[in-house]
Amino acid sequence: MFNRVLITVLVAAGMANEAEAKDIVRSTSIQEQVSILENLMNFGELYATNSKTGNQVKIKTIGEIERLGEELDCKNAEDVKIEFKVASAGSNPLII
């Protein structure tokens, strides 16, 4: 689940495409992955949804990720849909 979240966030934040995001997961330690995800979570909002019932929770900390299935009452991890909404105003990394 953690890897899925990290890949989703990397792609949504525009930092990598899916293949590159998978490369990042393969080539980094758990500690590095946690630091990257913690950093990116500052620039948007992370949501998890039970795709069958529509129940949604906002993920505020990395510790919540492994408990998502339980929290959303999903028997299969695949039923958890992850979304990262990048904050728009002021977050756009243009040079101004």
Query: Residue 66 Cβ, how far from another protein at the closest point, in Å?
Result: 21
List, in order, residues 6 or more apart from 40 with CB less than 8 Å away.
9, 10, 13, 15, 84
| Smallest separation, CB 31 to another protein (Å) | 6
Nearer to another protein, 30 or 70 (CB): 30
Give the interface with another protein as residue ranges (CB under 8 A).
10-11, 14-17, 19-21, 23-24, 27-29, 31-32, 35-36, 38-40, 42-43, 88-89, 91-96
Q: Treating both helix axes as pointing N-terminal to C-terminal, what angle do 2-12 and 30-41 enclose, rounded to 10 degrees?
A: 50
